[in-house]
Each structure stands twice: as C-alpha cells, then as structure tokens.
Amino acid sequence: MSSMELELNNLRSEALKEISSINSLDNLREIEIKYLGRKGVLNQLLKELSTAPLEERPELGGIINQIKLEIIREIESKRTLLEEREKAKKLEEERIDVTLPGMNISPGRLHPLTLIIERVEEIFRGLGFTVVEGFEMETDYYNFEALNIPWYHPARDTQDSFYITDKFLLRTQTSPVQIRVMEKTKPPFKIIAPGRVYRRDQPTARHSPVFHQIEGMAVDKDITFAHLKGTLDAFAHALFGSDVSTRFRADYFPFTEPSGEFAISCIFCKGKGCRVCSYSGWIEILGCGMVHPKVLEVGGIDPEEYSGFAFGMGWDRLAMLTYNINDIRFFLENHPEFLVQF
C-alpha cells in the first residue's frame, strides 16, 4: 500500500467517525462542506492527484471517488436520522394533552326579570295587547297631576319620590304611560308598558329604590269590569297555571273608579297558608280598576263615549314568585352565582 493509499484510508475512517459522532443538522452541514464542498478535502485530493506517479493515478482516483461516495451515503443516512429525530422532538414539544381540562366557555344568559317580561309580553300579545314604553324621568304632571293625584293627595306620601328639579322626577310608577298613550292614540287600544320605577325606599329584602312595574290599559267603547276580570284571570292562569284561583277585592287608587286589588291563590301552599303568603293563602299581585273619567278626560278621551280598564303590577314580585327568590335586591346586584341559576 502506497503512502497515499494509507493516507486515504485514514481520511476515510476519520471522516466516517466524525459523521457518526454528529448530533445536529447544523454540524452535519459543516462536515459536508468540509469533505464534499467545492474546496473540500476530497476535491483537494483529486486536484493533488496530478502530483502522483502516472501509473498510480487511475487507482488512486478510483479510491478517492469511492471514499467520496461512501461519505455522501453516510451523510445522507445521518441526515435522515437527524431530521427524523428533530421532527419527533418537535412533535413531542407541541403535543396536546387531551386529558387536561378544557377551557370553560360559559354562554350568556337572560336575567330572570327578562325571562319573566318575555313571558308576560307573550301572554298579553296573545290577548291583543301592544307593548309600549314610557320615560323613566317624568314631569310631576304625568307622574301625579294627570293621574288625579294633586299635590296635597296622601298618595304622594306613599310614593316618596326622587325629584331632579321642582318639575322633574324619576317616575314612581308606570302609570304616567297611560296618559302619554291616551294623548297620542285614538281608542280603541290595548297596551302594556313594562319599565323601571324609583322610590326613596330603604333597600330591604322586599323593597328596593329601583324596581319594575308593568302597566296595562285598555280603552274602547263599552269596556266593563268584566273585561278587566277576564283579562287578568286569563293572564294569571297563563303565567301561574290553570289550577290557581284568583280573587278581586275592592281597593282605592286615585286614577281608577272603582279600584280593585287582584290576588292569586298562593302557588307555594296552594292556598293553605304559608310564610310566603303570610298564612293568608293569597298573594296580591296587582292593583287595577276602571279608568277614572277624569283621567280619560285629561288624556283627551271623552268618558261619555269611551271607558277603559287599567292595572299595574310589580314585575320583580312576579319573578320572585316564579323562581322562588326571597330577596328583591338580588335582581340589581348581578352576582354571577345568582345569575347562572336561570
């Protein structure tokens, strides 16, 4: 073996050893350039072949080319190996642990007051009523005067008001909507008007300075108390079930004559008497009556030609009864723990 052959042999084993010890694709590229690059070791050797004795050149050239092929093969198989290893590593890093708990997406819900009003509106629409809205800030005239509640009337004391100026206040009831509707609408009409109302009450389980009412009014020729009774009976049975009993009793409101108070048999004890109904068996849900002739007149409607009935109920109370909620303050506090239950 010539010295050149010996040198080539060493080169071969050194190159193979180097390739086998490589651990990264970057290093592999360096080695590839070192041996196979344009100015790499093997090309250098081929160039140097011209200095070898003529008769040895073909054989040496053959050996060099063989070594070159061998190195190419080794580098390629090493590359495949490293690429596969890198891919596996990447997959491992990006692996998704399907056993981890998922992200909890909780969908929005409707507020219990919204759920109730949707149901109430649906019932009254079915009875031919239209849903209208009034203003939360009203004038003294619409909130009291026009409803036959003059300044000296004791009813003003029971509706302690938030005045904004001498003339403007936050409405204490939804009844002013009656006047606004009469001023704009020619009878016959049947409306309900849900909305917020405000009174200077200390917040307790049963009172809130902000609460909700639903006003109702129907005006036509020959409207009688029987229409009022039939309408409210139908409403109560639709909302609370056909097995509830209803009760009308005389009451007083300045804007209705005669006036009544409407109650349903207690839905919790079925009329036997329990804490919710204060052991009376009945739950009052609204005030009502035949629209006072003075009020029709103020609204621009001739009381000789037309008559009407009206009612007003606490909407919070309806929701409290329906969902068995025992504190009115929950409605405005908006605690998620409360709201997710509906």
Residues at the contact surface with ligand DAH, assessed by CB under 6 A: 173, 175, 215, 253, 256, 287-289, 310-312
CB nearer ligand DAH, residue 234 or residue 339 = 234
Nearest approach in angstroms of CB 287 to ligand DAH is 3
Provide the token pair at 75: 């580098």
Closest CA to 33 of 67, 71, 62: 71
CB nearer ligand DAH, residue 112 or residue 176 = 176
CA 286, CA 192: separation in Å to the nearest integer? 14
The DSSP 8-state label assigned to residue 188 in this structure reads S
Provide the token pair at 247: 């009760």
| Apex 142 CA angle, 181 and 115, nearest 5 | 60
CB nearer ligand DAH, residue 187 or residue 289 = 289
CB nearer ligand DAH, residue 42 or residue 288 = 288
Nearest approach in angstroms of CB 238 to ligand DAH is 20
Nearest approach in angstroms of CB 181 to ligand DAH is 12
CB nearer ligand DAH, residue 70 or residue 257 = 257
User: For 328, what's the count of Cα atoms within 13 Å in the CB-facing half-sphere?
Assistant: 17
User: For 35, what's the count of Cα atoms within 13 Å in the CB-facing half-sphere?
Assistant: 26
Nearest approach in angstroms of CB 235 to ligand DAH is 14
How large is the angle between the packed helices 3-21 and 25-36, nearest 10 degrees?
A: 170
Q: What are phi and psi of 64, to 5 degrees?
A: -55, -45
The DSSP 8-state label assigned to residue 186 in this structure reads P
How many CB atoms lie under 10 A from the CB of residue 332? 16
CB nearer ligand DAH, residue 31 or residue 288 = 288
Nearest approach in angstroms of CB 175 to ligand DAH is 4
Nearest approach in angstroms of CB 168 to ligand DAH is 19
Nearest approach in angstroms of CB 228 to ligand DAH is 9
CB nearer ligand DAH, residue 41 or residue 236 = 236
Which residue's Cβ has the minimum distance to ligand DAH? 312
CA 233, CA 228: separation in Å to the nearest integer? 8
In angstroms, the first-to-last Cα distance of the chain is 94
